Amino acid sequence: MVNTKFSRTWKSSKLPRKQRKYLKNAPLHIRRKFVKSHLSKDLMKKYSTRSIQLKKGDKVKILRGQFSGKTGKVNKINLKLSKIYIEGVESFKKDGNKSFYPIHASNLLILELMTEDKKRFKTLNVKVVKSGGKNHG
C-alpha cells in the first residue's frame, strides 16, 4: 500500500477524518478554492453566482467574531492557514504593537470586487465595462 500525501478521493469520503486530511494536505492550487466568500445580494444578482474566490483588494464585511460588522479591504491571504487579513482589523500585542487578526473566509461577505483582474471575470462569464467606453457585445 502506498502512503500518499494527498489524494482527491479523500474529498468524496463521508469520514470526517478524511475530510480534515483533504483540507490539511491539499496543495496550494487546490487550497486557493478554499478561500471563497459569499457575495452581497446586489453582486449576487449581477454575477448570478453565490460565492467567489477572494483576492487582495476586495472590500469585505466581517459577519462573525469580535470584529463583526466592520468593513475593510483584503490586505493579505494566507493559503497555508486559509486565513484572510483585513485592513483596520488588528489586535494589540502586549508590547503595544499591532498585528493583523486572521479571519476565515467563510465569515466574510464581499461588498465590492477588485475589477482590475480580467481573468477573474472570464470565469464568471461577465464583461466588465470601463466607464466612458462603448460596449460592442
pLDDT for res 2? 55
Given a contact cutoff of 8 angstroms between Cβ atoms, the answer to whether 110 and 60 are in contact is: yes
Q: Map out the domains of the chain as residue ranges.
A: 1-34, 35-122
Fold of 35-122: SH3 type barrels. (2.30.30)
Cell 480580467 belongs to which residue? 118
pLDDT for res 113? 93
The CA–CA distances, whole Å, from 111 to 27, 38, 51, 52, 128 equal: 29, 9, 12, 12, 17
- CA nearest neighbour of 107 among 89, 120, 80: 89
pTM: 0.81
pLDDT for res 125? 67
Cα Rg of the chain, angstroms: 18
Question: Mean pLDDT by 10-residue block, N- to C-terminus, for the chain (137 residues)?
Answer: 77 90 92 94 92 95 96 96 95 94 96 88 65 50
Residues 6+ apart with CB under 8 A from 102: 78, 81, 83, 84, 85
Please report, as a single letter, which amino acid is at residue 75.
Answer: N
CA gap 35, 29 in Å, rounded: 11
